[in-house]
Amino acid sequence: MDSPKIDFNASTGKEEANKTPQNIKPKKNWTLSVLKVGLYLFMFIVILGFSLSYKVIFSSDGVFSRQEAGFFEQIKHLVTSGDKTIDGESNDRVNILLVGMGGLGHQGSYLSDTIIVASLKPSTNDVALLSIPRDLYVEIPEYGWRKINNANAFGYMEDPKKGGEWLLATVLEEILNQPIHYYATVDFSGFMEVVDLLNGVDISVDRSFTDYQYPDNNYGYDPVSFQAGEQNMDGDTALKYVRSRHGSNNEGSDFARSRRQQKVLNAIKDEIFSLGTLINPKKVIDLMETVGSHLKTDMEVWEIIRLAELGKLANTDNLINRVLDTTPSGLLYSDITIDGAYILKPLSGDYSEIQSLAKNIFNYTALTKEEAKIEVQNGTRLNGLAENTATRLKEIGFNIIGVTNAKESNLTETIIYDRSLGQKPETLQLLKKELNGKLVATEPIFSSTLSDSFSDSDSQGLSLEESVSNVTNNPVPEDIESDIVVILGSDIYSLHTNTNQANTNTE
C-alpha cells in the first residue's frame, strides 16, 4: 500500500459530523478504553460457559452486530468451525479496532472518542496497543480531509444499521498499511458499570492536574481535579480520568489521555482476572450481563472462542503501549486549519513512518526492555547514509543516540559492535536482521571520536535520493556511553536501494 502525500489544501467534502446525525435510530451508546477489557472479559466468560446463554448472545440487544446470523446459524458455525482459524491468525497477527463514542446525551454523539488498534501475536502471546489521536488529519473517502474521529460518524450517517466502524477501519487500513480484522465498541455506561461492579479500580495518578473544561454534557463545563498518588476510582471518576483532555500540568492533550486510558485498561484487566472476581459467580454473571448490554463486535461466537483460545496465554502483564504523538521522538506535529481547527499531521508528510511503527510494533518488547543506546557511523563515502539509516532504525524503535562518520570511508561490510558485553542480546539480533550486518563483540576499530570525526560535507561521492543535503554531524555526547556501535559499509547500499524501489513501486 502506498503512503500518499497529504494534500492539506484539498476540499473538505461533506458537512462536518460534529453533531448527532438526524433520523438515525441509535443501536447503542459506545465508548472508550474499556473496549479491549470488555472483549477479553467476554471471551473469558465464553470459555467458562456463561456466554452460551440465548438471552445475552442471541438477543437483538446482544453483543453481535452480524444480526443476519441467527441462533441456529451461530450454533451451526460453532459445531462446524472445528480447527478453523480467525482472520489474521495465519499471518501471526490479529488486529482489532477498539472504538469509543459518547453516544446519545453526549456532545458529538457518534464521533470517535477513543481509537485504539489492539494486536495479538499468537506465536509469542504478545499484545500491542496503538492509540490513534482523534485529531489526526486524514482523508476520509467521499468526505475529504477531516479529523479521523469524524469517520465513524460519517459511516453512521450513511448506514445507521451497519454503523460507522467500517469506514473508520477503511481509513486506518490506509494509514497503518495493516488489515483491520475485527472491531469492538462499548459505551460510557458500560464502562462505568464494569468499574463499579469491580468495586472500583486502583490507579496510580502520575501527577496532580485540574481540567476546567471537562464537559458537563449540556454544552457547559464541569471542572475535575486529580491528586497524584495511589487511589481507588469508582466508575464515574475513572471515566472522567480517561476522558479529560484539557488538564493542567502536562495532562492537557490527547496523548496524555491515551496513556491514562491504557493505564486504566491495565487496572481493569487486573481486577477482572483477580481471584476475588473469578470465584464470585454473581459478580461474573453481573459483569457478563453488563458486557452483553454494552459491547458490540462484528466477531461471531466461534471467532470469539477461537480468539479466547489464542489469547488465554497472552502476555498482558507486559502490554506494548504506543501512542502517536508530538513528543520529540513522536511522529506527528500540530497545526491549525484555515478554519482555526487544531489538527495533527505526520512529520514525514506521508504515512510511511506511521506504517513502519505499526509494522514493527512487536519489536518494542525487546527494545523497550533492553533500552540499548546505539550509535550509527558512516564507513562509506555515500552522503547521508548514516542519517538515513538512523532514521529508519528509529522508525522501528531503536534508540539512536548519535550519528556521525567513521575514521575510514571505504568499508565494504556493515559491522555491529557489541560494547554491552552481551547485555543487549535481543537488540543485537534485531539489528543484525534489519541491517544484515556482522556481529562483533569487541571495540570498534574504525570508530570515530569527537575530535577526529568529520562532517558529511567533507564526504564526496554518491548521495541517496531521499537523503537530506548537508546533514549535520551528530556524534554521541561526551557523557553518554553507547552500548552498540554500527559502522555502515557499502553493502548497506542494496538495502536502501531495495527500500526505495519498494516505495516507488507503491506510489
Q: Is the pTM of this model over 0.75?
A: no
Q: For 256-271, what is each residue's pLDDT tens digit?
A: 887 888 788 778 877 8
Q: Which positions ≥6 away from 425 have C-beta within 8 Å? A: 370
- Residue 485 has a pLDDT of 93
Secondary structure (3-state) at 144: strand
Q: Quick one: which of 395, 363, 391 has its CA closest to 376? A: 391
Q: Are strands 94-101 and 137-140 parallel, antiparallel or unpaired?
A: unpaired
- Residue 169 has a pLDDT of 95
- Residue 282 has a pLDDT of 72
* CA dist., res. 261 & res. 255, Å (int): 10
Residue 367 has phi, psi (to 5 degrees) of: -65, -40
- Residue 204 has a pLDDT of 92
Q: Which positions ≥6 away from 91 have C-beta within 8 Å? A: none
Least confident stretch, 65-79, 129-143, 278-292: 65-79
Amino acid letter, 217: N
* CA dist., res. 162 & res. 165, Å (int): 8
- Residue 475 has a pLDDT of 47
Q: What is the mean pLDDT of the chain?
A: 74
* CA dist., res. 264 & res. 33, Å (int): 8
138's enclosing H/E stretch is strand 137-140
Q: Quick one: which of 489, 374, 496 has its CA closest to 427? A: 374
Q: For 8-49, what is each residue's pLDDT tens digit?
A: 334 334 444 544 444 333 333 333 333 444 444 444 333 333
Q: For 378-437, what is each residue's pLDDT tens digit?
A: 999 888 899 888 888 887 778 899 899 988 888 999 999 999 888 999 899 889 888 888
Task: List beta partners, residue 129.
Answer: 118, 321
Domains and CATH numbers, the chain: 34-359 (3.40.630.190), 370-505 (3.30.70.2390)
pLDDT of 275 higher than 70: no
DSSP for 329-346 reads T-SEEEEE-TT--EEEEE
CA dihedral for 10, 13, 15, 16, sign (positive or negative): negative
127 burial (CB, 10 Å; 0-12 / 13-18 / 19+) is buried
Q: Which residues of 47-68 are buried (b: 16+ CB within 10 A; e: fewer)?
A: eeebbbbeebbbeeebbbbeee
Q: Which positions ≥6 away from 297 have C-beta within 8 Å? A: 39, 63, 64, 65, 182, 183, 184, 185, 304
Q: Where are the alpha helices (DSSP H) in 97-149?
A: none
